[in-house]
Amino acid sequence: MTTYLAAAPTPVERAAPAPILVATDLKKRFGRTEALRGIDVTIGRGEIVAVMGPSGSGKSTLLHCLAGILRPDAGTVELEGRRIDTLGETERSKLRRSSFGFVFQFGQLVPELTALENVALPLLLDGVSRSDAEARAADWFPSLGIEGLEHRRPGDMSGGQSQRVAVARALVTGPTVVFADEPTGSLDSLAGEQVMELLSAAVASSETTVVVVTHEARVAAYAHREIVVRDGRISGVVAA
Amino acid sequence: MSIQHAVLGLLQEGPRHGYDLKHLVDRYFAPDRPVAFAQIYATLARLESRGRVALDAVERAEGPDRRRYAITEDGRHELVRWLDEPLAPEPHLQAALFTKVVLAILSGRDVTAIVDSERHAHLARMRELTALRRSAPVPIGLLADYALFHLEADLRWLELTAARVDDLRTNLKLSTEDHP
């Protein structure tokens, strides 16, 4: 019960949003290390939630379990009321493509492709035609301040520009949830701030949920609330 | 804020009345906490007695006299000296926070609980500042940024302290025994 309270929204001028991603009693072990020791989290539609905690606390493992990248050893993960932790690898892979977007610390753009092709990639993998995919991809460039960079390759862009391309790629499929793991970790303060401003503005209009793992408080301040993971459990229990 | 230097800086462009200076100081340097007129007049009197500003004109219209001040050569030197010299790099130590953490360590309390509640409060404030920065005029946005970085620094210090709490506990106890 107390751990559930930890994940309760802070009273900041927001009504409690409808739950979209619900994890119950998540446990995950790597060899003898217990990365997650029973975590309950409820994340609402349109919420931006920061996951914080010391290195090795289990915050990335939590993100990976919520995103269907890892299967928890015990506990459940539901997306819009549907169990996703029990799905096989193929189905989870499909789910990740259709419902989730990802931004990692290093953009992980394909170096041989242009910015536009990188953004269009998730659509192509979903079977959208090349011309449609590139047209939809191009729509994201102005709102992320990367207009004019469509035909650059990742090697010819700054870290901040690459990361904004990665944000566009995460958003292009219209995902239900965007997972970001230290999205500003490789950027300086200004570029990091721009990425967070653009990401939060981009999701605000579409009610997209964002789960962002970060150790930077200034990044976490873009979230509506924070979840703190310590030793594989939710910490930071502060009654609202 | 060094009001003396703020006033000298504002007089660089040309002579001004105390009334104008008060509003300019508020706008550029103290948007969150306006200074009192009395403070501006006291500052001008102090600068005048040190020869850094001089009375430029007294205008007699209706109501009280309006005294206009100009920066002197000494005033310009002082301003340049102050701008060129680095400030003493004193940490913006939050005395209460520091005391709280040291007491928690000494008394064997759970420091992570303090970290968690401080983080929660800090982040709530940082969210407000982040939102404020988007809509605020530039001076207020800059102040919000400044506050955000300092609040983040507090949190980083707290996190580090929590991570080292066992060592600190041993050492703090030793030091009280060494220096009764």
Given a contact cutoff of 8 angstroms between Cβ atoms, the answer to whether A25 and A38 are in contact is yes
The mean-pLDDT minimum among A12-21, A152-161, A170-179, A200-209 falls in A12-21
What are the tokens at B102?
């040291």
Residue given tokens 């700054």 in the structure block: A158
In a domain, A37, yes or no: yes
- Point out the residue among B116, B124, B126 whose CB comes nearest to the CB of A235: B116
In a domain, A240, yes or no: no
Q: Which of A219, A167, A163, A214 shows the shortest CA–CA distance to A193?
A: A219
Please count the structural domains in chain A. Answer: 1
**Domain encompassing residue A193:** 2-235
In a domain, A163, yes or no: yes
Average pLDDT taken over every residue of chain B: 84
pLDDT of residue A150: 97
- Point out the residue among A12, A54, A217 whose CB comes nearest to the CB of B163: A54
pLDDT at position B10 over 60: yes
In a domain, A198, yes or no: yes
* Chain B, nearest residue to A57 by Cα: B163
- Decide if A230 and B159 are in contact by the 8 Å CB cutoff: no
The mean-pLDDT minimum among A12-16, A83-87, B166-170 falls in A12-16
Would strands A74-79 and A19-30 be described as parallel, antiparallel, or unpaired? antiparallel
pLDDT at position A11 over 60: no
In a domain, A229, yes or no: yes
In a domain, A222, yes or no: yes
Average pLDDT over residues A71-90: 95
pLDDT of residue B140: 87
Q: What is the pTM (predicted TM-score) of this model?
A: 0.80
Average pLDDT over residues B83-94: 70
pLDDT of residue A10: 44
Work out the widest C-alpha separation in chain A, in whole angstroms.
52
In a domain, A31, yes or no: yes
- The beta strand positions in chain A, using DSSP E, are 19-30, 33-44, 48-52, 74-79, 82-83, 100-103, 177-181, 209-213, 225-230, 233-235
Where are the domains positioned within chain B? 3-84, 95-178
Neighbouring CB atoms inside 10 A of B66's CB total 14
pLDDT at position B172 over 70: no
pLDDT of residue A63: 96
Average pLDDT over residues A160-179: 95
* Chain B, nearest residue to A236 by Cα: B116
pLDDT of residue A229: 94
More confident residue, A237 or A215: A215
What is the complex's ipTM, to 2 decimals?
0.83
- CATH assignment at residue A58: 3.40.50.300
Q: What is the CATH number of domain B3-84?
A: 1.10.10.10
- Decide if A218 and B152 are in contact by the 8 Å CB cutoff: yes
